[in-house]
Amino acid sequence: MKPWYSFALLSMLAGCDPAPEANHPTKKEAKKSYEPQFRKDGLLVVLDADQRDTLATLDIEVVQQPDELQFGMMYRMRVPDNTGMLFLMPREEMQSFWMRNTYVSLDILYINGDKRIVSIVEKAKPLSDESLPSKGPALYVLEVAGDYCAQHGIQAGHYVHFAHSRTTAAPL
């Protein structure tokens, strides 16, 4: 056996690679990033102020537990088309969100107990700790992709209706 074949054979048997830098990913390449995946829990429709015309229909992921409410859309690199995250808050009161560890721009809709949109923060800046408060008491908060509201003509004063599998909810 030729000497270089011996080295290659011994290296393979020993689990070594004669040229590790050429065949192995760098530490940076090997490190995988964590990105939560969208989970469809229900359906939400946005209606105009008269509740006659449907402006948008979304698949929703519903969050209600304290850890889910805090985590929200953090670490997501994208928002799938026509999806959103609906936060079921413990009390109807003034709410405030931020964009810490959130990599995509979002529209944040604050919704009262009558399911009327009380205010919207459009195109919230990613990775910001700036407080983004509601302009009225809200029981629900809906996060959608940034610019979604402008694209669908959604404004404060419009309504939402939703149904989901996480808890008892008002029917569509």
Total domains present in the chain: 2
Whether residues 8 and 47 fall in one domain: no
The predicted pLDDT at position 132 comes to 98
What CATH number corresponds to the domain at position 114?
A: 2.60.120.1140
Question: What pLDDT tens digit does each residue of the chain (172 aa) get?
Answer: 444 443 343 344 344 444 444 444 454 544 556 788 999 999 999 999 999 999 999 999 999 999 899 989 999 999 999 999 999 999 999 999 999 999 999 999 999 999 999 999 999 999 999 999 999 999 999 999 999 999 999 999 999 999 998 754 444 4
Whether residues 130 and 65 fall in one domain: yes
Whether residues 40 and 103 fall in one domain: yes
- Enter the pTM of the model: 0.78
Whether 171 is in a domain gets the answer no
Whether residues 24 and 108 fall in one domain: no
Whether residues 78 and 8 fall in one domain: no
Whether 169 is in a domain gets the answer no
In sequence order, what are the beta bridge partners of 79? none
Whether 56 is in a domain gets the answer yes
For residue 102, the enclosing domain spans 33-164
Whether residues 56 and 108 fall in one domain: yes
Whether residues 46 and 103 fall in one domain: yes
Residues 6+ apart with CB under 8 A from 72: 63, 85, 87, 97, 102, 143
The predicted pLDDT at position 167 comes to 59
Whether residues 76 and 145 fall in one domain: yes
Whether residues 41 and 123 fall in one domain: yes
